[in-house]
């Protein structure tokens, strides 16, 4: 096998130690190998970097082991070319079970060009990604808090959720604050409803007639407020971080179903430089939104999607669900066309895939989004639309004869 790199190093990273193997040219036709173990403290990592520079090693490979690889990668990326590899891709050969053997095996694979690196974004994008991911965690926790609050109200005999869809909306918060202030009259609480909720005033009066005691007030006060403040703070910081990317954010925001929050997640997870993804299909595969390829002996098996970036996938699935409810859009038409024969879940994933491909082209060119219309698929494939209409009529018991119009 041909050697592609002359000076390489392989790192086997653990929580407390790092085993490092450096492979250098020696006698003609031979390779020299130096192995050393370092700690994971900041001082030890700087010593490791100096040791690699002393051996004039420009290329380093390390496995993505939990979160332990991050401080090592961030220190070394300033001095050498780091390649972060998936541990499952390099542990298929038996017999290499010790740390020393692992780092040596990584170095050998690297020098022969057999490793494929993972995508590690630059520091500004990593900071934005941390903000959007933590905000998503807090939003999920807010939903759990709403469920806990609902249980407290049910314990007090107040069935606010039967009248208000969101008990933490404007009307629901006004009623809860009034309860905390000592107001328990159902009529007074129901009159705090706003908007379309005022159509349900009789039902609200019955739902708000309960036994709200000081104990319930203490529990409700603990559930309200603190998460919303943290989410607002993070949202403000996210807006500051995406300010330099305002043009890209605006282009993504125009996609049906994609709001500013989802657009910020796209920029945080993918970035604006699409050169790291050769095609839109590569991006969809990396995100885990492309159909799986599982074929053996000419038979196609399960086509479930592969594991990918769960944060990006989660946001796009939510955006696809919103796009499916829009009117006169290509995404909504795509959802309904796929949902009829294959079901809701597969249709939503297909729409999320189409949205990600659209985002790729908007960022790669760059372009502004133009809505193709709900009939765009039928215009591109008129014969499929014809067959679909004929089958629908035949299912109703008709015999169909197609004759072109003059």
Residue 258 CA to its chain's centroid (Å): 13
Residues 6+ apart with CB under 8 A from 215: none
pLDDT value for 245: 94
Structure tokens at 403: 């004759």
Tell me which H or E stretch contains 10: strand 8-13
CB-based contact 40:68 (threshold 8 Å)? yes
- Tell me the pTM: 0.84
pLDDT value for 302: 66
Residues 6+ apart with CB under 8 A from 254: 368, 369
**Element counts in the chain: helices (H) and strands (E):** 18, 7
pLDDT value for 257: 95
User: Which has the closest alpha carbon to 220: 166, 181, 190?
Assistant: 181
Structure tokens at 127: 């900071």
The length of the chain in residues reads 406
pLDDT value for 172: 87
From first to last of its 406 residues, the chain has per-residue pLDDT tens of: 577 899 999 999 999 999 999 999 988 878 899 999 999 999 999 999 999 999 999 999 998 888 999 999 999 998 999 999 987 777 655 445 555 578 888 898 899 888 888 899 999 999 999 999 999 999 998 888 888 888 999 998 988 887 777 888 888 888 988 998 888 898 899 999 988 888 888 888 888 888 898 898 888 888 776 777 888 999 999 999 999 999 999 999 999 999 999 999 999 999 999 999 999 999 999 999 987 776 666 666 666 788 889 999 999 999 999 999 999 999 999 999 999 888 999 999 999 999 999 999 999 988 899 999 999 988 888 888 888 888 888 999 998 888 887 7
pLDDT value for 319: 97
Give CA separation, 365 vs 85, 249, 252, in Å. 29, 14, 13
Domain positions in the chain: 8-111, 125-229, 246-374, 382-406
Coil vs helix vs strand at 219: helix
- Domain 8-111: give its CATH code: 3.30.420.10
């Amino acid at each position: 096998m041909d050697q592609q790199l002359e000076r390489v190093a392989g790192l086997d990273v653990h929580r407390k130690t790092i085993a490092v193997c450096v492979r250098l040219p020696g006698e003609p036709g031979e390779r020299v190998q130096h192995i050393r173990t370092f700690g994971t403290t900041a001082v030890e990592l700087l010593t490791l970097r100096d040791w690699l520079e002393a051996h004039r090693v420009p290329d380093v490979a390390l496995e993505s082991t939990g979160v332990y690889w991050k401080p090592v990668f961030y220190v070394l990326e300033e001095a050498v070319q780091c390649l972060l590899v998936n541990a499952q891709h390099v542990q298929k050969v038996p017999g290499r079970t010790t740390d020393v053997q692992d780092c040596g095996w990584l170095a050998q694979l690297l020098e022969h060009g057999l490793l494929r690196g993972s995508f590690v974004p630059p520091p500004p994008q990593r900071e934005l990604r941390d903000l959007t991911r933590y905000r998503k965690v807090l939003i999920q926790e807010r939903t759990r808090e709403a469920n806990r609050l609902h249980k407290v109200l049910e314990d007090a005999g107040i069935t606010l959720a039967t009248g208000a869809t969101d008990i933490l909306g404007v009307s629901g918060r006004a009623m809860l604050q009034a309860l905390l202030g000592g107001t328990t009259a159902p009529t007074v609480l129901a009159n705090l409803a706003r908007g379309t909720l005022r159509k349900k005033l009789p039902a609200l009066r019955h739902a708000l007639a309960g036994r709200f005691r000081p104990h319930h007030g203490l529990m409700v006060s603990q559930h309200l407020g603190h998460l919303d403040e943290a989410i607002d703070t993070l949202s403000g910081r996210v807006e500051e971080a995406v300010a330099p990317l305002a043009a890209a954010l605006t282009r993504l925001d125009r996609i049906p179903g994609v709001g500013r929050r989802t657009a910020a997640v796209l920029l945080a997870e993918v970035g604006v430089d699409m050169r790291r993804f050769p095609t839109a299909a590569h991006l969809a595969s990396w995100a885990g939104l492309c159909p799986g390829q599982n074929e053996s002996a000419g038979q196609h098996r399960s086509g479930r999607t592969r594991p990918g970036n769960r944060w990006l996938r989660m946001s796009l699935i939510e955006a696809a669900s919103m796009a499916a409810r829009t009117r006169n859009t290509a995404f909504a038409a795509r959802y309904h066309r796929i949902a009829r024969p294959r079901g809701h879940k597969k249709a939503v994933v297909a729409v999320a895939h189409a949205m990600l491909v659209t985002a790729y082209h908007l960022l790669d060119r760059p372009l502004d989004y133009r809505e193709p219309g709900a009939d765009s698929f039928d215009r591109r494939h008129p014969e499929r639309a014809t067959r679909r209409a004929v089958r629908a009529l035949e299912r109703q018991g008709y015999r169909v004869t197609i004759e072109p119009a003059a």
